[in-house]
Amino acid sequence: IYTVEIEADEKKYPLLLSNGDCLEKKSLGNGRHYAKWNDPHKKPSYLFALVAGDMGVVTDSYKTTSGREVKLEVFAPHGKQERCLHAMKSLKQSMKWDEETYGLEYDLNQYMVVSIDDFNMGAMENKGLNVFNSKLVLADVKTATDDDFHQIQSVIGHEYFHNWSGNRVTCRNWFELSLKEGLTVFRDQEFSGDMTSRSVQRIHDVDSLRSRQFSEDSGPNAHAVRPESCLAVDNFYTATIYEKGAEVIRMMQTIVGLKGFKKGMALYFKRHDGQAVTIENFATAISDANQIDFTQFKLWYSQAGTPVVHVEENYDAVKKQFKIKLTQSCDLTLTEKLDPTFVKEPFYIPLRFGLVLPTGKAIKIPFDLLALKEVSQEWTFADVPEKPILSINREFSAPIKLVQNMSGQNILLLIKFDSDAFNRREASMKMLLQEVRRLIACAKNKTALITNPDVIEALGYILNDSKIDPQMKALMLSLPSNMVIAQEEETLVPEAFMQAKKKIIIDFVNQFQNDLVKLYKQHHPLDTIGDRTLKNKILDFITV
């Protein structure tokens, strides 16, 4: 328990802040003043903070469900206060969301966010006194973009959610960093999804995971979510510990279900409030609350690398049976290879799926989650009237690489009909990635680049489907990023990447120019994030 007394020059440092609640503030005469703070909650030293300075402030208040009146303050350099209003709004949304989702309330009488222009990190969750890099707090309505606003909302949420996942229950040591970071990233992703669009949020999170974490996993820095050793603790602030850590938590939620997961979270906070615990303790709380064995599942914490799942499908038209065979593998990482005794065990991989008929109708199935626990497993479905298209790893239920042979025609059917928004976009991405790679090969071989007319037709279909919401449409029309292409290519020829992408865009624009311009004009006067995103995507295309 910390009690902090601060004394300083009254003119130079009118603000004297620390963690917890302010008990006393007085002038000492002689140009100096004094403040006393007390934080009634136990905390590790990394959550301590002290701020002395001269700043402007925006003030508001929030009443918790149980009736506590909390004073909210966002501090910023003088003159920049009005740029804090979005951060303040986001803070109130976060407080409400955590109460409604997990029943977690704020536990002090004041909550302060301090925006600093030269802060060497993004933001820090010091108890009751968050310290932020200005770029994650300040937003000028005249110049800030939708992405800026979204990022502020997400990081304000992240640091606020740490008050429980990180501060009230903290990590026993830094090897357990993902206990607080994986869980809190998961919580801020869910929060952002609820504040905006869940499917768009999921797609952005997975895009980021694939470009940052998958490349980490396949390189010399590959490490487990709970590493065994390190050279310096700052090496731990990685995409694996943060983003893959969040994916592991998400898989737990998928396995035990939303209700079961909330039960597990409640047990975790009840059991460990005020303690410094381990990832093991978290997994035990979720499994105890649901009476489920997580022994194998916990390999996600100790084994590094991205598993690959191969899909084989077989349809028996006479018996009306459809079979799915899944086989998993995961290459040893550099560090795992160095240990001759290391044996990589199969992961517990939860895969959400659905069967879609060529007419677009979904086939009724007895369950929608395949639990792949062995190297290879098979499932048989009866009464399947005709050969279905398998839409698997829906919502990206597991952080794996999927190898599934699919004809161009079936990809197109999923683009049109998949009821899972994530996989619908996945199908368009798959189609575009295949086409880009085919054209890259042509560019490398110095042969003519001729686009597949079916691909251009499919893009036209997406463009003109009025049922797809504009933000999703912009995502489905987006070509794969260079990072994503680079992960697939043996040799990297950047000029070939550019040529291939440009060729697709030019052919698409030539064929659908009128539709593109019409859609642009239709969304131009409208003023939502989706309208702006789609408009900018169209501008991107027609100005190439």
Which parts of 94-123 interact with Zn ion (CB under 5 A)? none
Q: How far apart are the C-alpha atoms of 255 and 35, rounded to whole Å?
A: 50
Q: 309: phi > 0 → left, psi -120 to 50 → alpha, else beta; which?
A: beta
Nearer to Zn ion, 181 or 507 (CB): 181
For residue 387, the 8-state DSSP code is P
Residue given tokens 């979005």 in the structure block:
86
Nearer to Zn ion, 73 or 181 (CB): 181
Residues in the chain: 544
SS (H, E, C) 306-363: CCEEEEEEEEECCCCEEEEEEEEECCCCHHHHHCCCCCCCCCCEEEEEEEECCCCCEC
Q: How far apart are the C-alpha atoms of 246 and 235, rounded to whole Å?
A: 18
Tell the smallest beta-carbon distance from residue 423 to Zn ion (Å). Answer: 30
Q: How far apart are the C-alpha atoms of 330 and 299, rounded to whole Å?
A: 12
Which parts of 184-223 interact with Zn ion (CB under 5 A)? 184
Nearer to Zn ion, 126 or 333 (CB): 126
Tell the smallest beta-carbon distance from residue 165 to Zn ion (Å). Answer: 9
Q: How far apart are the C-alpha atoms of 481 and 214, rounded to whole Å?
A: 14
Q: C-alpha angle 217/219/224, rounded to 5°? A: 35
Cβ burial, residue 94 (10 Å; 0-12/13-18/19+): buried
Residues classed as catalytic: 159
Per rule CB under 5 A, count of chain residues that contact Zn ion: 2
Nearer to Zn ion, 158 or 202 (CB): 158
Residue 135-174 contact track with Zn ion, rule CB under 5 A, x = bound: ----------------------------------------
Binding segment (CB under 5 A) for Zn ion, from list 50-58, 181-189, 349-357, 451-459:
181-189
Angle between helix 470-477 and 421-444 (nearest 10): 30
Tell the smallest beta-carbon distance from residue 303 to Zn ion (Å). Answer: 24
Binding segment (CB under 5 A) for Zn ion, from list 52-60, 175-183, 431-439, 474-482:
175-183
Tell the smallest beta-carbon distance from residue 288 to Zn ion (Å). Answer: 26
Binding segment (CB under 5 A) for Zn ion, from list 178-186, 200-208, 348-356, 362-370:
178-186
- What per-residue string of b and e applies to 360-374 under the rule 16 or more CB within 10 Å gives b? eeebeeeeeebebee
Which parts of 389-408 interact with Zn ion (CB under 5 A)? none
Nearer to Zn ion, 184 or 397 (CB): 184
Closest to 126 in 3D by CA, of 153, 177, 166, 76: 166
Element (H, E) at 24: strand 21-27
Nearer to Zn ion, 15 or 152 (CB): 152
Tell the smallest beta-carbon distance from residue 299 to Zn ion (Å). Answer: 24
Nearer to Zn ion, 126 or 391 (CB): 126
Tell the smallest beta-carbon distance from residue 241 to Zn ion (Å). Answer: 10
Tell the smallest beta-carbon distance from residue 524 to Zn ion (Å). Answer: 39
Binding segment (CB under 5 A) for Zn ion, from list 87-95, 148-156, 177-185, 516-524:
177-185
As given in the structure block, the two tokens for residue 180 are: 């607080």
Tell the smallest beta-carbon distance from residue 495 to Zn ion (Å). Answer: 39
Cβ burial, residue 409 (10 Å; 0-12/13-18/19+): exposed
Residue 51-80 contact track with Zn ion, rule CB under 5 A, x = bound: ------------------------------
> What's the CA dihedral at 446, 449, 452, 457 to 10 degrees?
160
Cβ burial, residue 263 (10 Å; 0-12/13-18/19+): middle
Nearer to Zn ion, 177 or 411 (CB): 177
Which residues form the interface with Zn ion (CB under 5 A)? 181, 184
